[in-house]
Amino acid sequence: MLTEALSVTAHVGKVLDELGVPWLVGGSLSSSLQGVPRATQDVDLVAALQAGHVQSFSAALEENFYVSEDAIHNAIRRCSSFNLIHLDTMTKVDIFVPSVAPLAAAQLRRRWFITLEDGSRLPVASAEDIILQKLDWYRKGDQSSERQLRDVVGVLQVREKALDTGYLEMMAEQSGLSELLRKAISLRRQAGPGG
């Protein structure tokens, strides 16, 4: 499942790269690559698309994906999301057009690249930013998605010694996520060494 998601991501990413659009992998795919892997049915990307990209972006993908230019234009206007469906695998790709909010703006600036088994490089949200994003989604879902919280704990478990805790705490404070971050850290500590 992860291999399929990575293949679809690489396809969309190549088009974004050719258009010069900054982008990164977020969501569960990013947390799986940096934390504890889990199966995921979709891919979340952040891409700084602009109106001038829409026609070329759609044309490059329409043979292999369901794509709606109207949905893309709407997402760009509203700094929201739209989705693509990969026709062969039915993998859904949610593309989030970032706002100017501090957390959204920081994600693209702080992205880093991981090297996959085939040698290709994939831009992903930093571990700190995926923790913050997952905590934000957890909050927006009325703190009912244990899966989001498990993903955060998984990233903390795998990456905790390499985290920029100063940045993480500062952005959590600015985004109103400090209490949820403390909760996730407490859950990580309860899990004990290695898990």
Q: What is the pLDDT of residues 25-56, one digit of tens each?
A: 988 777 777 777 776 668 899 999 999 999 99
**What is the full per-residue pLDDT of the chain (195 aa) written as tens digits?**
567 888 899 899 999 999 999 999 988 777 777 777 776 668 899 999 999 999 999 999 999 999 999 999 999 999 999 999 999 999 999 999 988 776 777 888 899 898 877 787 889 989 999 899 889 989 988 888 888 888 899 999 988 889 999 999 999 999 899 999 999 999 888 877 655
Architecture of the domain defined by 2-99+111-124: 2-Layer Sandwich (3.30)
Strand order through the sheet with 81-86? 65-66, 81-86, 92-96, 42-47, 23-26, 121-124, 112-115
140: exposed, middle or buried (Cβ count in 10 Å: 0-12, 13-18, 19+): exposed
Q: pTM of whole model > 0.85?
A: no
Distance of CA 130 to the CA centre of its chain: 7
